[in-house]
């Protein structure tokens, strides 16, 4: 049976409109977005099946690539992008909420902010956090996106972001896809060079955070800045 043949009380879109978002499951919300299923399954059943294959976890679903989503019959490039866009909006909403909520008082605040963005990545990314003199949020930038083991950071670009924004304090953060946040020799060298470069233009490198699997490493906490 197609969704159009369901009663109004069963249709996700009508139930959303009449009863509110809380009355609609995650699979049904995604079904509303993708719009249609196949001749064999409705969009709701399709999204239920996909979620079930990934532990009914939106977080896990968010790690799938466009190609992995398209392995499901009924999910083409446009629908795959729609699913990814919805999950990315969720991440950005959480980041926006955290950035506006309070100032960054230590490494816990920083890792909590970036963990939302980087905890499930299968590649390495490096991000810059810009703070004012009270360590309040001024912005953040993706500096580089690398492979499985390393990511190249252009220190000149980092300094430019800070100077253009007028941010006196900066924090570097990147993830280790392996889950082990212990710094590599390259991480140590990058931190040393960045600290020297910031000092030369009167910026403060407050920390370099490495995000691992449910843990993190802080150069500031370890007394290595």
Domains and CATH numbers, the chain: 3-92 (1.10.150), 102-218 (3.40.140.10)
Distance (Å, whole) CA 164 – CA 51: 43
Predicted local distance difference test score (pLDDT) of residue 150: 54
Please answer whether residues 74 and 45 qualify as being in contact, where contact means their C-beta atoms are separated by less than 8 angstroms. no
Strand (E) positions, the chain?
125-131, 137-145, 169-175, 204-211, 216-218
Mean pLDDT estimate for the chain: 87
The confidence score (pLDDT) of residue 72 equals 94
Which among 200, 190, 201 is positioned nearest to 224, based on CA atoms?
190
Which pLDDT does position 155 carry in this prediction? 92
Question: What is the predicted pLDDT for the residue at 171?
Answer: 97
Report the pLDDT value the prediction gives residue 88, as an integer from 0 to 100: 84
91: Cβ contacts below 8 Å, ≥ 6 apart: 62, 116, 117
- Residues ≥6 apart with Cβ < 8 Å to 4: 11
> Residues in the chain with pLDDT < 50?
101
């Amino acid at each position: 049976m197609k969704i159009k043949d369901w009663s109004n009380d069963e249709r996700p879109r009508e139930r959303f409109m009449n009863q509110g978002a809380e009355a609609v499951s995650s699979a049904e919300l995604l079904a509303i977005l993708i719009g249609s299923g196949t001749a064999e399954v409705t969009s709701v059943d399709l999204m239920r099946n996909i979620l079930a294959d990934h532990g009914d976890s939106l977080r896990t679903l968010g790690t799938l690539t466009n190609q992995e989503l398209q392995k499901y019959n009924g999910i083409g490039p446009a629908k795959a992008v729609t699913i990814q866009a919805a999950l990315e909006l969720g991440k950005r909403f959480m980041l926006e909420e955290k950035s506006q909520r309070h100032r960054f008082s230590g490494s816990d605040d920083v890792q909590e902010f970036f963990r939302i963005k980087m905890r499930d990545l299968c590649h390495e990314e490096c991000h810059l956090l810009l703070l004012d003199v009270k360590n309040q949020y001024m912005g953040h930038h993706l500096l580089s996106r690398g492979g499985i083991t390393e990511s190249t950071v252009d220190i000149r670009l980092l300094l430019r972001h800070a100077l253009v924004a007028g941010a006196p304090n900066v924090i570097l953060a990147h993830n280790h896809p392996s889950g082990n946040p212990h710094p590599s020799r390259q991480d140590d060298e990058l931190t040393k060079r960045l600290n020297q470069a910031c000092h030369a233009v009167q910026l403060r490198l407050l920390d370099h955070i490495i995000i691992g699997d449910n843990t993190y490493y802080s150069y500031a906490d370890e007394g290595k800045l």
